[in-house]
């Protein structure tokens, strides 16, 4: 694995949140064309205020990298239940001038005192809401490294929109209001928590959320740099906060000041895959998202060119099986690259895919046992950005479950992740072999997060991704098929009701809007479905229209998504 460490020290303008697909009516050309004509930057995120934060940086002369940092810090303010400086991120960056892609791993890591058996003997609910689940946060270090390497602005500059949002407050949106009313929201009943009124009631839709402690923290970091977070007073507060537990001493957090001081960001060699004339680029391990997505697409490639591929029954019948096969390999082989036994490209080998595809059944499936999935956090976020020069960022970031661990850092106003529950609770697989995703000191848990970039004829054309834990992979299979196989309109693709294969047994969730005739036809072929009352994923995409040469954006109506043009 080609890996390089980076030291961590080296209301508004937006496109209507009605989320109707919008194309800016101008003639624009990609930077790749020989003739230079005006182009515009596009930001797609899960919240209009975060979108506006990115746009403000583009207008001020920043590039897509600077705008991405501004979006992430703003999301910490307006979508604190999903991501923030207490969590981690995977970031893909394409720099148009050099035609280079960089894969930034700012995933949370296990502290040095972590052990393979630390989650055994306690329920997932206990583990996930105790300090033992908190990984060393990487988001701040990741975005600091990002702008230092490829940005034009300082950390202090890109933090300004988030600081103002935290200081001035904003109106609670539908998605945030729903998250505040969720039972996990009760975990945050810490003194001075800004998410509750004086009577203890969580803020509701239309009420104003002001976060002075978070504003103070972001201001300190903007002035003094990330060393304050990884070495100074904020580090001390993080360590103290994660020494909380719902299950006694066994649940105390094991992170030390040394763990924070030693955190590092990786620039990893991106995962590459060719599909139907397109070149796809994704994150390598510890992400398993791109590998599982690409393996699924590879298993389906022989069928994708057939005339009946547009038939959703035929396409979904094969796709559900391919996803189950790819999930089997995900569980058997993938984890932190330091404890994997195979090269991640191995499952994308033509011979391997051909052999694996023999398990796909064209007719009715044999009756088989369908097991529910292991618990996994689904409350993540994704955003995609392209600037007028053609630089692109596709980022998925998280604090794992809704409200992370629920541990709110007093006086500093941010939540800590519960990312370590993404490790396998049992260090041994069902076949008796050691899990490639067992808890080990300093390693990073396997993730499904999958920021994606797509190229055609050496030209960038797409950036997209989604939150949703294991559902991310199925969501991106469906979106990739809609965009690259069927060539449907991006907003139509994003709005389409989804299924989500969750494990190797074929346990599959479907959204309540999933078409009933399609469900019945698939069930007749042997598939089993479980209705998911929650929306699955939230895709944010930007792209290049290859015919008319303009950049476009599309955002998912499943959250408070929005698209904005510079």
Catalytic residue ranges = 380
Backbone angles phi, psi at 556, to 5 degrees: -85, 130
Q: Looking at the chain, how many residues does it have? A: 566
CB atoms within 10 A of CB 82: 32
Cα atoms in the Cβ-side hemisphere of radius 13 Å centred on 461: 20
Spatial CB neighbours of 478, under 8 Å, sequence gap ≥ 6 = 319, 493, 496, 498, 499
Contact 296, 370 (CB under 8 A): no
Q: What is the 3-state secondary structure (H, E, C) of 476-511?
A: HHHHHHHHHHCCCCHHHHHHCCCEEECCCCCCEEEE
Taking the alpha carbons of 534, 373, 527, 473 in that order, is the dihedral positive or negative? positive
Tokens of 233: 């007073």
Q: What angle do CA 67, 466, 537 make, to 5 degrees?
A: 135
Tokens of 337: 């690259």
Contact 287, 294 (CB under 8 A): no
Quote the CA–CA distance of 557 and 566 in Å, as a whole number: 21
Contact 406, 452 (CB under 8 A): no
Backbone angles phi, psi at 557, to 5 degrees: -75, -5
Tokens of 293: 């997505």
Q: Can you tell me whether residue 235 is helix, strand or coil?
A: helix
Quote the CA–CA distance of 100 and 93 in Å, as a whole number: 8
Contact 325, 353 (CB under 8 A): no
Task: Tell which residue, 335, 333, 284, 343, has the closest CA to residue 444.
Answer: 335
Quote the CA–CA distance of 22 and 146 in Å, as a whole number: 30
Quote the CA–CA distance of 503 and 330 in Å, as a whole number: 9
Pairing of strands 529-532, 508-511: parallel
First to last CA, the chain: 38
Residue written as token pair 């890591």: 109
Quote the CA–CA distance of 276 and 283 in Å, as a whole number: 20
Taking the alpha carbons of 539, 187, 245, 265 in that order, is the dihedral positive or negative? positive
Q: Can you tell me whether residue 521 is helix, strand or coil?
A: helix
Task: Tell which residue, 49, 23, 5, has the closest CA to residue 562.
Answer: 49
């Amino acid at each position: 694995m080609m890996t390089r460490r980076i030291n961590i020290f080296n209301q508004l303008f937006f496109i209507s949140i009605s989320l109707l697909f919008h194309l800016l009516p101008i003639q624009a050309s990609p930077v790749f064309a020989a003739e230079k004509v005006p182009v515009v930057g596009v930001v797609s995120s899960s919240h209009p205020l975060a979108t506006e934060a990115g746009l403000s940086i583009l207008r001020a002369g920043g590039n897509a990298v600077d705008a991405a940092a501004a979006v992430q810090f703003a999301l910490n303010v307006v979508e604190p239940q999903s991501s923030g400086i207490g969590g981690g991120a995977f970031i893909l960056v394409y720099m148009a001038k050099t035609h280079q892609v960089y894969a930034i791993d700012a995933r949370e890591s296990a502290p040095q005192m972590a052990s393979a058996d630390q989650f055994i003997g306690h329920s997932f609910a206990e583990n996930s809401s105790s300090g033992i689940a908190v990984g060393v946060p990487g988001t701040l270090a990741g975005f600091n490294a990002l702008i230092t390497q490829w940005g034009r602005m300082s950390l202090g500059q890109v933090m300004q929109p988030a600081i103002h949002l935290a200081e001035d407050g904003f109106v609670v949106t539908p998605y945030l209001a729903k998250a505040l009313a969720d039972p996990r929201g009760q975990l945050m009943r810490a003194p001075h928590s800004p998410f509750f009124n004086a009577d203890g009631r969580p803020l509701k839709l239309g009420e104003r959320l002001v976060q002075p402690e978070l504003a103070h923290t972001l201001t300190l970091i903007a002035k003094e740099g990330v060393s304050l977070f990884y070495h100074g007073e904020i580090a001390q507060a993080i360590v103290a906060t994660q020494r909380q537990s719902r299950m006694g001493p066994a649940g105390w957090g094991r992170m030390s000041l040394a763990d924070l001081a030693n955190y590092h960001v990786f620039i990893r060699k991106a995962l590459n895959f060719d599909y139907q004339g397109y070149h796809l680029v994704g994150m390598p391990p510890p992400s398993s998202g791109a590998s599982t997505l690409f393996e699924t697409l590879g298993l389906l490639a022989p069928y994708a060119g057939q005339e009946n591929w547009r038939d959703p029954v035929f396409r979904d019948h094969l796709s559900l099986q391919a996803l189950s096969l790819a999930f089997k390999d995900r569980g058997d082989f993938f984890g932190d690259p330091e404890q994997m036994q195979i090269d991640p490209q191995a499952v994308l080998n033509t011979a391997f895919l051909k052999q694996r595809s023999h398990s796909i059944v064209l007719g009715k499936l044999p009756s088989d046992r369908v097991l529910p999935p292991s618990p996994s956090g689904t409350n993540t976020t994704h955003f995609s950005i392209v600037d007028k020069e053609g630089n692109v960022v596709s980022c998925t970031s998280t604090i794992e479950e809704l409200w992370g661990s629920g541990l709110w850092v007093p006086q500093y106003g941010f939540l800590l992740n519960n990312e370590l529950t993404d490790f396998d609770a049992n260090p041994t697989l069902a076949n008796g072999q050691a899990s490639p995703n067992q808890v080990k000191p300093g390693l990073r848990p396997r993730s499904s997060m999958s920021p994606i970039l797509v190229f055609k004829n050496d030209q960038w054309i797409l950036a997209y991704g989604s939150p949703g834990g294991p559902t991310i992979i199925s969501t991106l299979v469906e979106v990739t098929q809609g965009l690259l196989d069927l060539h449907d309109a991006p907003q139509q693709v994003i709005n389409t009701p989804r299924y989500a294969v969750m494990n190797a047994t074929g346990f599959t969730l479907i959204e309540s809007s999933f078409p009933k005739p399609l469900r019945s036809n698939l069930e007749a072929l042997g598939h089993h479905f479980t209705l998911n009352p929650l929306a699955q994923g939230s895709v944010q995409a930007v792209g290049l229209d290859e015919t008319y040469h303009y950049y476009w954006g599309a955002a998912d109506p499943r959250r408070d998504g929005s698209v904005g043009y510079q």
